[in-house]
Structure formats: structure tokens, C-alpha cells
Amino acid sequence: MGIVEKKILLRAESLHKEYPMGKDQRLHVIKGLDMEVREGEMAVIVGPSGSGKSTLLHLLGGLDRPSSGKVVVDNLDLSVLSEEELAGFRNQTLGFIFQFHHLLPEFTALENVAMPALIRGEKFPEAQHRATTLLQEVGLEERTDHKPSELSGGEQQRVAVARALMNDPRLVLADEPSGNLDEENSQRLHQLLADLAQKRGLTFVIATHNLDLTKRAHRVLQLIDGRLVTGLRSLS
């Protein structure tokens, strides 16, 4: 209707994931799942604990390989990549945010945020400059020299968001990013993610139980019996 359809950034096709479970037993978690996420979209995945949300995010982000089926991100079929190429893809194309911040305890907020760029080979002064700007963007300009243990849970998660953005990813995957935060900090984090999606045209796939976050999403997908069912579009 006059609006140009955004391109598909992420596509999963006939995705299956089975985990071996002792002798001759398998746990079939993802069962022929298809999905598409367009550029700039914030897609949220909901489903009960144990339904396979983390498993799915790991497959989408190339942290684990599917038993069959494929994942295509930005026209790149992950199944053809070697482990080394996958690591490069994760570093350069993706941002990850986890339920527990996974920051390195012995490094400052600034160093944690700069890390993905340093791994990629960026020089320290340049990485430091960009990390400082990102910490400002998430409202932590006064916490740059603090270690994770000297930050609140909400602040730790915002550092993790800044780190996820450091290499200017096309796609950010988040696994219950507010699962460990109180309501006030959760809402602040969700507002930040929504602002980033809008300002930077970032694409998000987020697993969550949180209703405030599902209300902000463009699309809510329910993981039921190993496949995704489109939920109600949010009203906001």
C-alpha cells in the first residue's frame, strides 16, 4: 500500500533440532520451524519454559547447528560456513544479549563494550572512543570505569546492550534480556531496545516472558510444539 516492503533479513526453513538423550533416545525440540524477520522489525518469541526458545536463538545466531533445515541471515546460508567463518559472522553481523549479562568480571564497563571491536582487530583508542559513545547512548556515561560487580542489574544489562551494538550488527538476538530485572529496570531496558530499533533501524529477535516487551514488538511469535505460530499483533 505505497510502502516498500522491507527486505527479509533472517529466514529459517524447515528447521529441526534434536538433542541426544542417552542410549538411542532423542529430544526433538524444534520440529520443522519456518520463520522470516524483516529488516527493522522487532520480533518477540514467547512460549513456556522448556519450549525451545533458547535453542531456537542459538540456531538463529549460529551458536549451535540444526539437525536439519537452514538459517539464512542477510543472504548468508549459515549451514555452509565453517566454525571459523561462523565465529566471524557472529562477531561482525550479530549482537547477543543474554538473561545474565555475561560481562567479563575483571574488566570495566568500557572495556567490556570495546571487547568485540578489539577482537575484530580495531585499535584501542578508536574502540575506546566508540565504546564511550555507546555507553552514553545507553545512559551510562558516568559508569564507564566501573566493573560489573559495581553496577546494578539494570546497569549491567545496559552495558550488555552497548556491547551487543559495538560492531554495528545487522541483527540482535536477545534471550530473556529482562528475565533477571525488576519491573522498573525491565521497562527502562525495553524502552532502550525499542528506541534503538527505531533510531538505528536495528532488527531484533527477542525471547521473553515479559508482557511489557511483547506490547512493544512489531510481531509476537508463539513457540508451540516446536513451531512458531503468529500471535496477535500488538495494539500499540
What nine digits make up the cell of 98? Answer: 543474554
In the stretch 46-65, what mask flags binding to Mg ion with x, by CB under 5 A?
-------xx-----------
- Report, in Å, the least distance between residue 46 CB and ligand ADP: 9
Considering CB distances under 5 to 8 angstroms, the limit depending on partner class, which of Mg ion, ligand ADP, none binds residue 29? Answer: ligand ADP
Sole residue written with cell 534434536: 18
CA–CA dist 194, 157 (Å, integer): 15
Report the site for ligand ADP in 19-38 (rule: CB under 6 A): 19, 27, 29
Q: What is the CA radius of gyration of the chain?
A: 18
Residue 48 vs 88, nearer CB to ligand ADP: 48
Considering CB distances under 5 to 8 angstroms, the limit depending on partner class, which of Mg ion, ligand ADP, none binds residue 163? Answer: none
CA–CA dist 86, 132 (Å, integer): 28
CA–CA dist 72, 70 (Å, integer): 7
Partners of residue 150 on adjacent β-strands: none
Q: What is the DSSP letter of 23?
A: T
Please report whether residue 177 would count as binding ligand ADP according to CB under 6 A: no
- Report, in Å, the least distance between residue 20 CB and ligand ADP: 7
Residues that bind ligand ADP in the complex, under the rule CB under 6 A: 19, 27, 29, 47, 49-55
